[in-house]
Chain A
């Protein structure tokens, strides 16, 4: 079962990954096949485990102020800043639409 172009496009938008070329797409297909082996296990009546921490105690912290006040350090990472604000583009920049990219995926 092949992964459709629509699904690939959707994944690229959601996760900002770039499948780039046919080889990348094939690698994805193989990864899905590998994970599909999980379906061979009978899990009837078994509660899904969603965290290996499920038996651990969730540590509760006291409500004290112990961090912060490191504006300068944080801004060192910023490529652009304006008066202690981080600078970002005006909004999310859209990825090219599917029509513009279909050729690219199939081309390689």
Chain B
């Protein structure tokens, strides 16, 4: 048999002259969020008056890039934004005669993540090949774990505010179907003017953890909250830096709607979601689109759609060529991956070759949910407060640092952190690390307030001045602007008398 040149299946890029894929009637008119999930007192989105309500179903597939020095099966470096094709080994370029060699650190990252998500870790897992043709997949297949992944059957708990008031939080859980190790592909840069694609293989072969969440969510807000919590967990573990903007965390959403009591509807897959905010928008748009389509007598196609962030809508992405046939087969070059625990630890094996699940379990750091509870317990703040503290990178540490340096009670300090400091940070779009007001300065200011040397209003004035970052201390500013509280009774009487005297005529 002779082999042909270029492939045909696989992800379609935009083809020369073919224009953008799929016509779209444009974004549906933006509505108030008509999708109310079951958390909010059982309300389920109603269609046009008189029609049966709809239940939206949302499942997520999340790819998290593993934080490691080298790639999953080769020794080339993992780094964002390096010169094209400089971080590519012969194996990554799929040159003949090369073989995959599994990176221990990647396995540990997957085990940590599985344990943190309450999964069962499979002591024996297998690698498979998933075949499709695309220029950024030089081998023509991706090594993944389709039959027996490294971790299965876990759960992720996340919190949501009801009614955007931050006063009532509800906890929800989503089941984790599995976590698998797999290779990332290279990057394609489409050059439409010259009708070509430029391929950079720096990313090809980087380790990924694919986290598959069961369709337990029902709206964009839940999906966003779940992903946010997963992001925090991954960052706490260090198994992935999970920065969506750098492509370290990629989310695909599977969305369908059905009437209560009826079977699940046809689902669509939504890709190209670049931030958590867009995830919520994309999911909610797709739910609305499907509801409107069905209520107008249309049908939903089992297709892949891309989210267009500028238009705020989803558009069809792939041709309707029928289902992809990936021809999964066992990876012939890799034996099964065997993991051990304290009981099954082999006596006479080189311990560099042994991964002990229990050893990893013992060394897991406090997960965000545990940290939040500890903050509530230790400082007497509300759960909503600790939620916000952990949601902002570095804010919890900042809060604790201020508490250590001030006599003011934590319950009062938290107000200054969450109301004043946080709004300043948001206004200037900077992170806690970049704050011109250090924990030391804030503690200093709060001490003045605590000792009643200044009023609350004055303190806010001082804080505004401190934000200019001119290097002054709170005391400097108080003196400059004469904000000291008068404590002297006599002086106060004199001032009052002067005011009364000045208005004797009225």
Contact = CB atoms under 8 A, between A and B. Distances in A.
The judgment on whether A and B are partners is: yes
Interface of A: 10, 12-20, 24, 50-51, 53-71, 74-75, 77, 82-95
B77 A65 contact: yes
Contacts of A87: 196-199
Nearest to B329: A50
B335 A93 contact: no
Contacts, number: 186
A75 B88 CA distance: 11
Instruction: Say whether chain A's binding surface is mostly helix, strand, loop, or mixed.
Output: loop
Contacts of B106: 63
29 contacts: A13-B8, A14-B9, A16-B8, A16-B133, A18-B1, A51-B330, A53-B332, A53-B334, A60-B103, A61-B102, A62-B352, A63-B105, A65-B70, A68-B75, A68-B77, A71-B85, A75-B85, A77-B93, A82-B196, A86-B85, A86-B200, A87-B197, A88-B198, A89-B6, A89-B16, A91-B13, A92-B10, A93-B6, A93-B7
B334 A17 contact: no
B188 interface: yes
A11 to B, nearest CB: 10
Given A85-B199, A92-B133, A64 B85 contact: no
Nearest to A27: B1
Contacts of B337: 58
Contacts of A89: 6, 16, 135, 195-197
B1 A19 contact: yes
Instruction: Say whether chain B's binding surface is mostly helix, strand, loop, or mixed.
Output: loop
Contacts of A83: 84
B14 A91 contact: yes
B414 interface: no
Nearest to B330: A50
B373 interface: no
A92 B7 contact: yes
Contacts of B86: 68-69, 71, 84
A82 B134 CA distance: 19
A92 B9 contact: yes
Which A-B residue pairs are the 10 nearest by beta carbons? A88-B135, A66-B75, A63-B105, A68-B76, A91-B13, A67-B89, A85-B198, A53-B335, A50-B330, A60-B104
Given A91-B197, A92-B13, A67 B76 contact: yes
Contacts of B192: 90
Contacts of B1: 17-20, 24
A56 B335 contact: yes
A71 to B, nearest CB: 5
A50 B330 CA distance: 6
A35 to B, nearest CB: 15
Contacts of A63: 68-70, 103-106
B83 interface: yes
Interface residues of B, number: 71
Contacts of B16: 89-91
A99 B382 CA distance: 68
Contact of B88 (A10, A15, A70): A70
Contacts of A60: 102-104, 107, 352-353, 355
Interface string B316-343: 0000000001010010111111100000
Given A61-B103, A86-B85, 4 more contacts: A67-B90, A75-B85, A86-B200, A90-B15
A17 B199 contact: no
Given A18-B1, A19-B1, A69-B86, A58 B13 contact: no
Nearest to A93: B6
Contacts of A70: 88-90
Contacts of A19: 1
B75 A18 contact: no
B492 interface: no
B277 interface: no
A64 B103 CA distance: 9
Interface string B1-36: 111111111111111100000000000000000000
Contacts of B95: 77
Contact of B2 (A20, A77, A95): A20
Nearest to B189: A85
